[in-house]
Amino acid sequence: MSSITELMPFVVLIPLIAGPVCALLPGRGLPWLLATLAMTTAFILSAMVLAAVFDGATLSYAFGNWAPPVGIEYRVDAANAFVALLITGVSAILLPWGKPLVDDEVPERQGSFYALVLIALAGLLGITLTGDVFNVFVFLEISSLATYGLIAHGRDRRALIAAFRYLIMGTVGATFLLIGIAVLYILTGSLNMVDIAERLPTAEGARALQVGLGFIVVGLAIKLALFPLHHWLPNAYTYAPSLISALIAATATKVALYVMLRFIFDVFGAAYSFAALPLAAALMALAIGSMFAGSWLAIMQSNLKRMLAYSSVAQVGYMVLGVSLTTLAGLSAAFLHLFNHGLMKAALFASAGLVAYRCGGLGMNDLRGIGRQMPWTLTAFALAGVSLVGLPPTAGFISKWYLLSAAVAADQLWLVGLILITSLMALIYIARVVEIAWMQPRPEGAPAVQEAHWTLLAPVWVLVAANFWFGIDTRLTVGGATRAAQALAGGVWP
């Protein structure tokens, strides 16, 4: 118990320290090897941390031995350990997968490329584990700045504009968050989350506190790509290198959602947040907007990665919808979908990355008839798509099921219809790709495409298998999500 507390900050520190070492390493093999080893170690550590906090314990680590609230504290309960496990797990699987694709897309200076990958991941993990609101802002900037750089590495020149656009939107979001944190600091004189929560009751009448909450929620909604603040996301995901698309699609928006929930529940307190602002109604409206706009725009796209990016906007909607039900069951469903969606999007972007690697383009025309030439890749895509649509026995079904039962339990029967309609829309855009890839003939004169090597396919299939595994054995996912919700809103919400 105590030794795991000492090890816990190394989930963040290992990638953070490995980053600058990576930047010094020459060639193509060593930086990749170090990045993979670092993330695998972080994965093992975060699994140990989750095991230690699964029963409701809280780990607290004081940096520099400066006792909180003066010093910076890392504070881990089931909620952030669960998110950290997703980030490290997905990156430990995707990094071995991404090596040949990175060799292809980023041929030069891979040391600094992998250094940026590690620093971006360390930033996301830092946001997740820290118990200090200013530390949240610093790590948000660390991960965002690294991500802008990574997106700009895309081979298409439009990657630069996508990265710049994300930079502008991301900076606006981070500034909003910082304004909110400043308000909290002015009102309470503290930056430690637990300490702020203890001191806030004296400031609850203040209009400034309402404004601060508003700034923080909107700032993080930009990072979360909640409709209508999602405009940076499709281009960023589309033009980034394949490895980066898969990594950030599976992790970045999830961390933004987690930290928004941490602010709403732990810092401001659920009772205050949902009374001071019409949060439940606003989040529900925006969530439904996300679900429909994201799914509709996904159907309209003619580029595979772009389609998946818009689908991410829709999926974020489901998570926020779970939160907006203001019940413990809804919040659990949100955490459950956060984890499961990370798995499915990683699998989908990874198989799309293989198609781009072998076939060159990702337009729907490039995909015609590709299913027969790359059967393993496209089967993986279709199976991960089944999970995205939410058919049994997949992880996607489990999260939809819990979301539906939470909606029913909250007496919001009309939401059931909306969830089913948007799931059908997901079926349309996934089925369209499957139809084009398998049913349509390869265009005349198109060069033959080879199936990807099994070393590339194996990690994708591990992700697909995880989607089915967590559709059947839900002890980790449902158990983790329930405990995460319990850690945040236990005792406040029914």
Partner 1 sequence: MRDNAILVVVARFLIPLVMLFGLYVQFHGEYSPGGGFQAGVLFASAWILFVFIYGLETALRVIPQRLIYALASLGVLLYALIGVLGVVLGGHFLDFYPLLDAPKAAQQTGIILVEFGVGVTVAAVVMLIFLLFARRRADTVAAGLDPDAADDVRVDAE
- The footprint of partner 1 (CB under 8 A) covers 6, 9, 13, 16-17, 19-21, 23-24, 61-65, 115, 157
Q: How many Cα neighbours within 13 Å face the side chain of 479?
A: 11
CB of 75 to partner 1, least distance (A): 14
CB 202: neighbour CB atoms within 10 A? 10
Judged by beta carbon, residue 24 or residue 492, the one nearer partner 1 is: 24
CB of 195 to partner 1, least distance (A): 19
Judged by beta carbon, residue 5 or residue 405, the one nearer partner 1 is: 5
Judged by beta carbon, residue 6 or residue 198, the one nearer partner 1 is: 6
Which regions of 80-182 does DSSP assign to beta strands (E)?
none
Judged by beta carbon, residue 138 or residue 391, the one nearer partner 1 is: 138
Judged by beta carbon, residue 62 or residue 476, the one nearer partner 1 is: 62
Distances (CA, A) of 490 to 130, 328, 363, 430, 482: 20, 7, 47, 37, 10
Judged by beta carbon, residue 12 or residue 329, the one nearer partner 1 is: 12
CB of 21 to partner 1, least distance (A): 7
CB of 62 to partner 1, least distance (A): 6
CB of 14 to partner 1, least distance (A): 10
Residue type, 342: G
CA dist., res. 128 & res. 78, Å (int)? 11
CB of 119 to partner 1, least distance (A): 10
Judged by beta carbon, residue 21 or residue 47, the one nearer partner 1 is: 21
- Contacts for 338 with CB less than 8 Å, ≥ 6 apart: 83, 86, 254, 257, 258, 319, 481
CB of 31 to partner 1, least distance (A): 12
Torsion of CA 61, 64, 70, 75, to 10 degrees: -20
Judged by beta carbon, residue 158 or residue 453, the one nearer partner 1 is: 158
For 157, counting Cβ atoms within 10 Å of its Cβ (0-12 exposed, 13-18 middle, 19+ buried), the class is: exposed
CA dist., res. 7 & res. 5, Å (int)? 5
**Apex CA 352: angle with CA 146 and CA 309, to 5°?**
60
Residue type, 196: I
CB of 9 to partner 1, least distance (A): 6
CA dist., res. 336 & res. 352, Å (int)? 24
* Cα Rg of the chain, angstroms: 21
- The residue to which tokens 């989350």 are assigned: 193
Judged by beta carbon, residue 62 or residue 211, the one nearer partner 1 is: 62
Largest CA distance in the chain: 74
**Apex CA 272: angle with CA 271 and CA 277, to 5°?**
115
CB of 190 to partner 1, least distance (A): 20
- The residue to which tokens 């969830």 are assigned: 419
Reading the block at residue 157, the tokens are: 């020149």
CB of 343 to partner 1, least distance (A): 31
Judged by beta carbon, residue 235 or residue 326, the one nearer partner 1 is: 235
Distances (CA, A) of 294 to 32, 131, 174: 34, 33, 24
CB of 15 to partner 1, least distance (A): 12
Rounded to the nearest 5 percent, the helix, strand and coil shares of the chain are 80, 5, 20
Judged by beta carbon, residue 66 or residue 431, the one nearer partner 1 is: 66
For 490, phi then psi, to 5°, come to: -60, 130
CA dist., res. 113 & res. 133, Å (int)? 29
DSSP three-state, residue 139 = helix
CA dist., res. 32 & res. 380, Å (int)? 25
CB of 236 to partner 1, least distance (A): 20
Judged by beta carbon, residue 64 or residue 441, the one nearer partner 1 is: 64
